[in-house]
A and B are shown apart, each in its own frame.
Chain A
Amino acid sequence: METLTTEIMVLGGGPGGYAAAFYAADKGRKVILVDRAERLGGVCLNCGCIPSKALLHATKLIREANESSARGVSFGTPKINLGKLRAWKDSVLEKLGQGLSGLSQKRGVELLRGRGYFEDSRTLRVETKEGQRFISYEKAIIAVGSRPAMPPAFDLGNPRVMTSTEALEIEEIPKNLLVVGGGYIGMELGTVYAALGSEVVLTEALSSILLGVDSDLIRPVMRFAEKAFKEVRLNAKVVKMATSGKQIKVILTVNGEQREEIYDRVLVSVGRVPNCKDLGLENTKVTLDERGFIQVNGQRRTSDPAVYAIGDIVGGALLAHKASKEARIAVEAISGESSSFEDVIIPAVVFTDPEVAWCGLTEAEAKEKGISVQVARFPWAASGRAMTLDRTDGLTKLIIDPQTERILGVGIVGAGAGELISEGVLAVQMGATAKDVADSVHPHPTLSETLMECAEVFYGYSTHTLARKKG
């Protein structure tokens, strides 16, 4: 079979890979995109961001219906048709997947489905259904992503021990569910299952959920979790699991005390690992770091001059939008531009209830690095809009350089924080000062006002709260 030749070969069709392929095609380059999945979109579309948000949307409705009676609007107890819910979720994925295929086709990006394996620095072998194909390329962009970590001690080969991938399929609503790991995946999916009716116990080995997030932003989420979940156990470690009939026996230590418990299902959400194995990277000059991520420079070039890598596979924040930004940088670098990943602000959103979102410098990070900052906080209890939404459990904060008054970081917890954070990203990325945000008129009544008022708090003249004196 003849060897395909191309300028740019992208391996992996997730939000990093397809963004890179499309952008390169838009720049007039000949591109082949190789992906092993039937549907483009990677983890994000197929078993990550999108399906989890579809389910969270449905569960949010359940919660609102439940709470609505206090506001004088009563619904009956929600009836959940799991098949229909799953089908709706799948239809969303299908539509988005088709959209990507269409966009790919219209751009003239050649799609090759199959597993890719590097023969050398300039050749990829692809195992397709129709047999082996070889691609000879000038530059490669690796975007093969990551997968949920499954420690061997938990890997029973029993479908009742799930990772996020299986959990998103919601085969059933288990009577009780143990969530191992209080990171964003455990918190989001725990919320979904709790709303659908499972009794959820969440264990976290460390002293806090959502490690790395400022504690004042975590507090409202923790309060919600303590109410919605049967239990939130911190400093608890799962030691062992075993199949016990149709259930899972779990041995864990809570505050040093060993316990044995039985669950219908277990969700293991203890992090993600890079998909570096079986790629033939040893046939290239690509090097890995000690955690198995591909090492790259600011331009996302690996130690092999012909090979670039982006997204989860290079580590850092394992987030779709980070991968997409890196896609731009890598393609621009290949095109001879001097783009670099330095100074790029990557926001993070946790779609818990309430949502948590932040960007730039966090208060915790400032403390840890000894950076002198001033923090302005605006509690949503002072927001009229939050009141009308019956969601005053929010907080907006700005991390400000006291010398230049520049906004270095933004943190938000509250309903819709994920949408609100973008203004924060713009502010930090543009080098805006608190004055810039305070002076920009925000529409009333909206939650976005909390950003403006928070900036005003910094100067001590927020309208709706009595700001403490600066200094």
Chain B
Amino acid sequence: MDIRVPRLAEGVESATVANILVSEGGKIEKDQVILELETEKAVGPIPSPASGRVTKIHVKEGDEVAIGQVLISLAEEGAREQAPKEKRDQLGKAETGVPATQEPVRAAEEPLAGEYRYESRSGFPPPASPSVRKIAQDLAIDLTRVKGSERGGRITLEDLKAYIQHLQQLAYAPKAAAEKAEKAVAKGVDFSRWGSIQKVRLSSLRRKVGQRMYDSWSTIPHITQLDEADITELMSLRKKYGPPFEKKGAHLTLMPFALKAVAAALKKYPIFNSSLDEAAGEIVYKEYFHIGIAVDTEAGLIVPVLRDVDRKGLLDLAVELNELVEKTRQRKISLEELQGGTFTISNQGGIGGGHFTPIINKPEAAILGLGRGALRPMVKKGKVESRLMLPLCLSYDHRLIDGAAAVRFMNELVQALENFPEKALKG
């Protein structure tokens, strides 16, 4: 049997082979991890759906692979009858849990013009009916560039249409063209003329982060609201309750407090927990509060999601947060854990930093940046006092949110942090 790239996650069409953990001729067990795929979001292990002997490895580390592509051929042991079913199950459950029978294995979600190339090991042309072949011929479309959606990668008329539409979109997207031109310019500069240089290939993650940032930054009108919160009291609460939390295995940092404060503010101002559906002309209000945490990893920025922050106590939040960050740093986070966020917090305080202008994690409506708390001389009741001030930076989508709403949200947040109820730490 062949082990193929499973459906990885919503919107994920390709991945890079990060590590190959088996070798040709080697025996493997069912569920043994055969290789790791790096997507824009994480490194995911691909377990073997069956045990057997690896007859061929079709990819090498660094290869970009698409969903449905064959990774490894396996000479199976034991009941072969079950193999196709198992293979499908794995593909089906990876994301939605929908029974595999309802979800035929599709070579790809949509054709990607310009990137896809049909590889024919047999020398046969890409599979398509004579009628589709004739249309392609008449339109001078190279079928090896069209991804087929049917069994065995067969190209249907629909696939051909989608491909042509995609080409048209590309042709009429001046932005894309400008982008391309820009890339071409960058490529053209020979930096080695002015001294020695080193070239490092962009990782799949870096590339994706770049694409997303560019997309978000260039399509959302950002405004960043800056403020500060006095967290002197909050930090004394932290100091007081740190040891008992530690006993329960939780490391109490600023973040659980921030999460709680944000969840409360989001509840009060739901527009910050919404998304803009441009196509439908609708605002989608989410009635759940899943908050993304920007995590700095060796490979780059990854944003895992903490679910139902509003329904969890400080202790649970502290424990979960630690686990989530640790998993992310070790790149063991699953793709599901990277999805479904409604708002994001980017905390630079651990490293330093004051105010900054975070970029919204599209399709969310806003993001909160936290700097490092610093002692400042503040006037309190007519007297200058030394207070610990936390820089807050709220970037929001101005299409959805007006400036006044942002100030109100920020005030709510500052209030929540400055008057954090001690009872939330007890029990």
Q: Contact residues of A with B, CB < 8 Å?
A: 337-340, 342-343, 361, 366, 369, 371-373, 401-406, 408, 429-433, 435-436, 459-461, 469-471
Contacts and interface: CB of A to CB of B under 8 A. Distances in A.
Mostly helix, strand, loop or mixed at chain B's interface? Answer: mixed
Contact of B140 (A338, A403, A404, A406): A338
A405 B125 contact: no
A343 B133 contact: yes
A459 B83 CA distance: 9
A431 B2 contact: no
Contacts of A405: 151-152
B123 A371 contact: yes
A429 to B, nearest CB: 6
Interface in B108-134: 121-130, 133-134
6 contacts: A408-B122, A429-B130, A430-B127, A430-B129, A436-B152, A459-B81
Contacts of A404: 127, 152-153
A471 B84 CA distance: 13
Q: Which of B80, B124, B126 has the most CB of A within 10 A?
A: B124
Interface string B308-323: 0000000000000000
A431 B73 contact: no
Given A339-B134, A340-B137, A361-B124, A430 B55 contact: no
A366 B124 CA distance: 11
A325 to B, nearest CB: 11
A339 B129 CA distance: 14
A222 to B, nearest CB: 29
B56 to A, nearest CB: 8
A470 B129 CA distance: 28
B80 A460 contact: yes
Interface string B54-91: 01001000000000001001111000110110000000
Given A340-B137, A459-B81, A469-B80, A433 B152 contact: yes
Interface of B: 1-2, 52, 55, 58, 70, 73-76, 80-81, 83-84, 121-130, 133-134, 137-138, 140, 148, 151-155
B122 A471 contact: no
Contacts of A469: 76, 80
Contact of A338 (B121, B122, B137): B137
A373 to B, nearest CB: 7
Contacts of B121: 371-372, 401, 403
Contacts of A459: 80-81, 84
A432 B70 CA distance: 18
A338 B134 CA distance: 8
A408 B84 CA distance: 20
Contacts of A369: 123
Contact of A431 (B55, B83, B152): B152
Contact of A343 (B58, B80, B125): B125
B126 A471 contact: no
B34 to A, nearest CB: 16
Contact of B80 (A372, A431, A470): A470
* Nearest 4 CB-CB pairings of A with B: A431-B127, A433-B152, A471-B75, A406-B152
Contacts of B134: 339
Given A408-B124, A429-B130, A431-B127, A337 B84 contact: no
A361 to B, nearest CB: 7
A293 to B, nearest CB: 23
B122 A373 contact: yes
B237 to A, nearest CB: 61
Contacts of B127: 404, 406, 430-432
Contacts of B58: 403
B152 A402 contact: no
